[in-house]
């Protein structure tokens, strides 16, 4: 059967295939969906002004992040609970990433354990995303395990110490964690298991609630970030900020990079879109550290625009979840292959041979 090409088709096919609960969970935004819409419209605020006659016979999509070579300028965003859309879960997404040399960021709330995911990826580039738990020993354990399993950077997500107001999920009474998803890293963790009165096998519900409570780290501050910093030698990125002041504070407290993100519009409603937030963050960071962006990346044009504006790299979220839903690992591979091909064409047809050469002179603000 023919697989989809456009994001809209992937989404439509996934909608047909998935139950209302899982589809709504992936698709939904917070509140009225304004932030999600702002992410999308942010890209429409720019047009590419192509250059011609510039010899684009050799083309290079490669970038370097913390000394790590990536063959494409985008990563797969950390997304938890992949098993809600396909039983192969994170293993399918991670294998696809490894086969196509696309850097992969594993979510803290993956259904499959980080060690299992690492094993199917071989030496392929992978980072680990942390929802910093309240318990510092648990935090230390997650960090140590990630380091040991060959993850080469830590992404600390700070926009989700509480879950956003998601109307679709509330209507569907759907929380994937309570249905057996997303607990791979917690239930396999010796520190976490010691924290429980009963093993997760004997009392699953209590264990899930305990794990979620660890993640609801509303006391997290810049001081706590310093503690994360002290506990790992890996490069540290802060994900989930849009305010320029926060970007500065992140670097001051030990982050090596920032990811301009609003969690795909799933957390704060009525918020600034990530492309709208990017210029000020870049101005404030002033080249001192890599600045990544996610939210609303759907096509090659979006990637070119974000890089031209000054992002070091971008992350792609929902597109790979829909592809995973429709056709498992091969769906994700097909989607990624097409995104790579489209990005390379966009690069060339806009008159550039390397993503490293892109700058804002390529763009016109509408
Ligand atoms: C997410 N995102 C996310 N982020 C994170 O740091 N840890 C996580 O576990 C998750 N889980 C998650 C689940 C689902 C279903 C979605 C859609 C998103 C946010 C993700 O990393 C990224 O910021 C957005 O998905 C980017 O926006 P787009 O590409 O989906 O528009």
Pocket test for ligand 1, best of 80, 82, 155, 336 (most atoms within 8 A of CB): 80
Q: Which atom of ligand 1 is nearest to the CA of 39?
A: 31
Residue 135: is it exposed, middle or buried by C-beta count within 10 angstroms (0-12/13-18/19+)? middle
pLDDT, tens digit only, all 366 positions of the chain: 799 999 999 999 999 999 999 999 999 999 999 999 999 999 999 999 999 999 999 999 999 999 999 999 999 999 999 999 999 999 999 999 999 999 999 999 999 999 999 999 999 999 999 999 999 999 999 999 999 999 999 999 999 999 999 999 999 999 999 988 999 999 999 999 999 999 999 999 999 999 999 999 999 999 999 999 999 999 999 999 999 999 999 999 999 999 999 999 999 999 999 999 999 999 999 999 999 999 999 999 999 999 999 999 999 999 999 999 999 999 999 999 999 999 999 999 999 999 999 999 999 999
pTM: 0.98
ipTM: 0.99
Residue ranges in 45-83 assigned as alpha helix (H): none
User: 263 an active-site residue?
Assistant: yes
Question: How far, in Å, from the CA of 77 to the mean position of ligand 1?
Answer: 6
Query: What are the Cα distances from residue 12, in Å, to 18, 95, 108?
Result: 10, 24, 28
- What are 22's two structure tokens? 């899982």
Q: Catalytic residue, from 27, 86, 112, 263: name it.
A: 263
Ligand 1 site residues, Cβ closer than 6 angstroms: 25-26, 39, 77-80, 107, 109, 129, 157, 239, 261, 263-264, 266, 294-297, 316-318, 321
Question: How far, in Å, from the CA of 171 to the mean position of ligand 1?
Answer: 21
Q: What is the per-residue burial (b if ≥16 Cβ within 10 Å, else e) of 111-132?
A: bbbbebbbebbeebbbbbbbbb
């Amino acid at each position: 059967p023919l697989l989809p090409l456009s994001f809209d088709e992937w989404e439509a096919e996934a909608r047909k295939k998935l139950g209302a609960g899982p589809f709504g969970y992936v698709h939904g935004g917070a509140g009225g969906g304004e932030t999600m819409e702002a992410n999308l419209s942010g890209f429409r605020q720019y047009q590419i002004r192509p250059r011609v006659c510039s010899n684009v016979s050799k083309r290079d999509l490669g970038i370097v992040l913390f000394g790590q070579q990536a063959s494409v300028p985008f990563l797969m965003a950390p997304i938890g609970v992949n098993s809600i859309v396909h039983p192969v879960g994170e293993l399918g997404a991670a294998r696809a990433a490894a086969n196509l040399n696309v850097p992969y960021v594993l979510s803290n709330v993956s259904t499959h354990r980080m060690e299992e995911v690492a094993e199917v990826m071989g030496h392929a580039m992978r980072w680990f995303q942390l929802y910093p738990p309240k318990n510092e020993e648990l935090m230390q354990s997650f960090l140590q395990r990630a380091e040991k399993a060959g993850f080469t950077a830590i992404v600390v997500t700070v926009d989700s110490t509480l879950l956003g107001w998601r109307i679709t999920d509330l209507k569907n009474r759907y929380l994937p964690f309570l249905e057996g998803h997303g607990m791979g890293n917690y239930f396999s963790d010796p520190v976490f298991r010691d924290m429980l009165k009963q093993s997760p096998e004997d009392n699953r519900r209590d264990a899930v609630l305990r794990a979620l409570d660890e993640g609801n780290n509303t006391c997290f501050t810049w001081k706590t970030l310093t503690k994360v910093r002290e506990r790992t030698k890996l490069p540290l990125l802060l994900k989930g900020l849009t305010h320029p002041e926060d970007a500065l504070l992140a670097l001051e407290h030990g982050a090596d990079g920032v990811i301009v993100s609003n969690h795909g519009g799933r957390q704060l409603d009525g918020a600034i879109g990530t492309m709208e937030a990017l210029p000020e963050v870049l101005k404030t960071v002033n080249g001192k550290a890599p600045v990544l962006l996610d939210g609303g990346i759907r096509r090659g044009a979006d990637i070119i625009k974000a890089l031209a504006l000054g992002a070091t790299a971008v992350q792609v979220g929902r597109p790979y979840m829909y592809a995973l839903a429709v056709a498992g690992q091969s769906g994700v591979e097909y989607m990624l292959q097409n995104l790579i091909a489209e990005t390379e064409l966009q690069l060339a047809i806009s008159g550039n041979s390397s993503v490293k050469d892109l700058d804002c002179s390529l763009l016109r603000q509408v």
